[in-house]
A and B are shown apart, each in its own frame.
Chain A
Amino acid sequence: QSALTQPASVSGSPGQSITISCTGTSSDVGGYNYVSWYQQHPGKAPKLMIYEVSNRPSGVPDRFSGSKSGNTASLTISGLQAEDEADYYCSSYTSSSAYVFGTGTKVTVL
């Protein structure tokens, strides 16, 4: 049950686009389309941003999009805004009926 691999930090200027990667294995990310992305502000609970690789819950801006290729999933934030500064985590269902989260990425808006 090793954590999925994410870059520790990603930064961008307001209005720019950034992409966060999430690399797993064929037993988790590559084997299922049950990849989600969560946003977490300091001291707050995680908030669902993307589910089933590329679907947005109601209320999440369409600036957030997700995709997957092989064992790597990605979250793209287009038109970066100040309020997007937060930690982001990916997660996946796994073949052992368990769940695994990514190592987390701190997004900084310059």
Chain B
Amino acid sequence: EVQLVESGGGLIQPGGSLRLSCAASGFTVSSNYMSWVRQAPGKGLEWVSVIYSGGSTYYADSVKGRFTISRDNSKNTLYLQMNSLRAEDTAVYYCARWSLRNWTFDYWGQGTLVTVSS
């Protein structure tokens, strides 16, 4: 059974850093495209970043230069390093698998809340 479990969220001051983790089971992270998607309170979904199976990474303009997506193949885990955090980064962060078979985000985690506030 495919499962994605995020962790690492919390309250952080503006300008601070935080690393989110997404532990995967039931499939191999390194063989798939993996993304982070966020949702600010009461707002819509916003795509944040993707890492391809080959290692290429892409980011939304709103986080480019501040966030870094990576993975640990030995732990089958996806990460999102978030630096220079701003109030507008406050959101629930979901990790999601992009299916190369069906070209869609087919599995999602339950999300982890990041609150940026002083």
Spell out A's residues near B (CB within 8 Å).
1, 3, 33-34, 36, 38, 40, 45-48, 51-52, 55, 57, 89, 91, 93, 96-104
Contacts and interface: CB of A to CB of B under 8 A. Distances in A.
Given A45-B94, A97-B58, A98-B58, A36 B104 contact: yes
Contacts of A51: 99, 102-104, 106
Contact of B106 (A34, A48, A89, A99): A48
Contacts of B46: 3, 101
B87 interface: no
A73 to B, nearest CB: 13
User: Interface on chain B toward A: helix, strand, loop, or mixed SS?
Assistant: strand
B111 to A, nearest CB: 6
B1 interface: no
Nearest to A105: B44
B105 A48 contact: yes
19 contacts: A33-B103, A38-B105, A40-B45, A45-B108, A45-B111, A46-B108, A52-B102, A52-B103, A55-B102, A89-B44, A91-B45, A91-B105, A97-B50, A97-B56, A98-B50, A98-B60, A99-B47, A100-B47, A101-B46
